[in-house]
Amino acid sequence: MPQNRDGSRRPSANGRGGPPRRPRPPAPKPGYPAVPPPKRDQRPRPIDPSDRTVQPPPPPPRHSSVPAPQPLYEPRPAFSYPPGLNDPGQDLDLDSPDYTAPAAAPHRLKLPLWEKMAKNWTLWSLVSLAAVGSVGVVSAVSLFRIPNLPNCRAIFWPTASATTRIQCAQAYAEQGTVEGYLEAIKLVEKLPDDHPLRSEINERVEDWASRILDIAEETFQSGKLKEAIDITDRIPSQTAAAGLVNERVAQWSQIWEEAESLYAAAETDLKNRNFNDAFTKAIQLLDVGNRYWQTTKYEELTQLITSARADLNKLGDARRLARQGTLEGFLEAIKLATSISAESPMYAESQELLKEFGQDMLDLAEAALERQDAQAATEILKNIPTQANLSAEIADFRTLADAYQLSWQGGNTALEGAIVRLQSISQDRPLYGKAQSLMSRWRTEIEGRSRLDWARRLAEPGTIADLEAAIAEAELVSRSNPVWEETRSQIGEWQDRIATAQDRPYLSQAEQLAQSGDLERAIEAAQQVRSGRPLYREAQTLVGQWRDQIQRSEDGPILAQARDLAAAGRLQDAVAVASQIGSNRALYSDARSEIDRWQSQIQSQNRLQAAYRAAETGTLDALISAIGIAREVPESNAQYVEAQQAVSRWSWDIFRLAETEAQYNLNRAIDVARRVPTRTEAFAPAQLKIQEWQSALQQSGRQP
């Protein structure tokens, strides 16, 4: 009974088990001409059995140079398959639901065929002669004539005729598949060796075997080596193509091995960052002799090289960001590292780098705990990448963070609570060693704090003996103890208290002596305080004050005598007396200041005297030289006013020389007037005279 598409039984169209209504014709198979569907307004033409001829479809396309096989039979002309049967190899099963019986021709009245033939004796004579002479020919041709194709899948082959076998073999071969060729060979190989068509059958078998080898070659070229080899294993051993299999498979294997070796070597080069070598091997793939490796794998490798280079740059940027040692830097670095795909040659390195980042972030979180920043440590832990595989470490670290926060409360009780918290980290945990180290550290700190607390209680009375006992107890704290810095600071404080208590009597005695006027003995008493002692700076300050008083009392009369000599105009004597005060004396700076002032006055006097001597001749050059020397007297010097007066006087002398010259030679007078120095009293009058004399010369026609 016909079945539905899901395999269930369905009734026939007529309700009596007859053939069902024929469905829409299936799409034509590749390699066969399509049968156009009938128009909707036309009924299919009934098939005339006398018009049936066999038109074999063209052979399937091949990729080798093997010539197309010749048919084993002579096709009869003008045969067409019923609508919907495009494949001559398609089985015709009269019981199939897809089979539709041809429509009956319209009934028309005509004479019976036997009656027509009975009346035509001439035709019967010709037919008889042709039949007698062509029995042998008809017998041979009948083997190659394809009547309506039988249902090849439903034939009982032990009793099938040779014609049926050849017809079905040809139909199977025309499918162009390995299975079709093998089925075709299987059918015809059952015929005996002495069959009249054995030679043609053998040629056809060889052609089909060659086509199977061609399919295997195409399969190999498409990148399916194992499938290609499996196909060659199915080629019948008695064919010539089977003799080519070993050589062909060896060639394929060599090509495949060479290509795989090049590809693997290129991948190794990429992992070693030898991009130029990898690209060279990619170029070599173009010559291996396999289309799959020359196209698909070549493009895949070149894309892999390009992406690997870009991924390497990403890893470099990620490392630079991570070296910043900040959470923001690590987040950017992780983003770059995780963007590398699993197919990249840099993927393994990126995963290792993510593990490094995770460990570095754990260290960063621990540093935050060391500076008592629990919030920063928690934020760092949340952003450690899952690729680092540190989930166990992170869980243990959270326990460490809890213990740290307990320890920050201070005191032995807080430290003991932190130790109890760390004891929850068992020996099989990744941070067990870190937990043990912290517990040992905090136990040592507890011991140190206990000893320091006891030392402080010893120092409470405040006597020197008590302080010394406290120091001795505190010094028992190990230098490696976390509380040692605090202990050392406490010991220093106690030592200062002892030194202060020991040196205070010396300063008290020195102050009493200074009050009584005995400064020398006061200094001696204060110097009993040694360098490095707490009261040393105070003692030195007092000593400096008392020495200053002594030196001022000793050097004051000397400086006063020098000032008196300077007031009397004896500047050289004043300088000599003031120079007796040494550089280490209290009044040295005062004496030095006075000496510099007096020496400046001496130099100014000397310059002024030199100017007077230069002006004695009264010549133009002498007066100009005298003015230049006088102007060297500083404005801050007492002789400055006298020097300016002399300069003014000498400038008028030059002006008068010009006026005297004007009585004889205006040109000469103008030259003299021009030499009156600027910033002198006679400069402006000299300029007016120059204009006056120049005007006079112009009027007289004598240009200067």
459-478 pLDDT, tens digit per residue, is: 998 888 999 999 999 989 88
- Computed from CA positions of residues 476, 480, 481, 485, in that sequence, does the dihedral angle turn out positive or negative? positive
CA 234 to chain CA centroid, Å, is 53
* pLDDT of 295 above 90: yes
Measured CA to CA, the distance from residue 432 to residue 426 in angstroms comes to 6
Look at residue 146 and give its three-state secondary structure: coil
At 85-144, the pLDDT tens digits run 333 333 433 333 343 333 333 333 344 544 555 455 565 555 555 554 454 443 443 444
What are the two backbone dihedrals, phi and then psi, of residue 245, each rounded to the nearest 5 degrees? -60, -50
Q: How confident is the model at residue 320 (pLDDT cuts 50, 70, 90)?
A: very high
Angle between helical axes of 162-173 and 178-189 (0-180°, round to 10): 160
The pLDDT assigned to 47 comes to 34
The pLDDT assigned to 290 comes to 93
Beta bridge partners of 3: 9
At 28-45, the pLDDT tens digits run 333 333 333 333 333 333
Mean pLDDT of 284-289: 92
Look at residue 570 and give its three-state secondary structure: coil
Tokens representing 568 are 């009397």
At 166-185, the pLDDT tens digits run 878 788 888 889 888 888 88
Closest CA to 304 of 336, 338, 347: 347
Closest CA to 372 of 322, 423, 425, 414: 414
pLDDT, greater one: 519 or 457: 457
Measured CA to CA, the distance from residue 639 to residue 634 in angstroms comes to 8
Mean pLDDT of 142-147: 42
CATH numbers and ranges of domains, the chain = 51-98+139-254 (no CATH), 308-448 (1.25.40), 483-562 (no CATH), 609-700 (no CATH)
Tokens representing 311 are 């991924």
The pLDDT assigned to 13 comes to 35
List alpha helices for 174-288, DSSP H: 178-189, 198-221, 225-233, 240-271, 275-284
Measured CA to CA, the distance from residue 337 to residue 388 in angstroms comes to 11
Percentage helix, strand, coil for the chain under 3-state DSSP, each rounded to 5: 65, 0, 35
Position 472: which residue type? Answer: A
Mean pLDDT of 554-570: 83
Let me know: does 185 contact 209? Beta carbons within 8 Å. yes
Q: How confident is the model at residue 335 (pLDDT cuts 50, 70, 90)?
A: very high
List alpha helices for 409-474, DSSP H: 411-422, 432-459, 464-474
* pLDDT of 339 above 70: yes
- Computed from CA positions of residues 186, 191, 196, 198, in that sequence, does the dihedral angle turn out positive or negative? positive
Measured CA to CA, the distance from residue 349 to residue 336 in angstroms comes to 13
The pLDDT assigned to 159 comes to 63
The pLDDT assigned to 98 comes to 41
The pLDDT assigned to 109 comes to 37
Position 46: which residue type? Answer: P
* pLDDT of 514 above 90: no
The pLDDT assigned to 588 comes to 83
431-438 contacts at long range (C-beta below 8 A, 24 or more positions apart):
431/393, 431/396, 431/397, 431/399, 431/400, 432/396, 434/396, 434/400, 435/396, 435/399, 435/400, 435/403, 438/400, 438/403
Q: pTM higher than 0.95 for the full model?
A: no
* pLDDT of 587 above 60: yes
Cα angle, residue 198 at apex, residues 197 and 202 outer, rounded to 5°? 120
* pLDDT of 68 above 50: no
The pLDDT assigned to 245 comes to 87
Measured CA to CA, the distance from residue 117 to residue 108 in angstroms comes to 19
At 192-238, the pLDDT tens digits run 777 777 788 888 888 888 888 899 999 999 999 999 999 988 888 88
Tokens representing 685 are 């009058």
Let me know: does 209 contact 178? Beta carbons within 8 Å. no
The pLDDT assigned to 129 comes to 53
Closest CA to 497 of 448, 450, 460: 460
Tokens representing 669 are 């007078």
Q: Looking at residue 422, what DSSP letter applies?
A: H
Measured CA to CA, the distance from residue 225 to residue 227 in angstroms comes to 5
At 404-444, the pLDDT tens digits run 888 888 788 888 898 888 888 888 888 888 888 889 888 88
The pLDDT assigned to 296 comes to 93
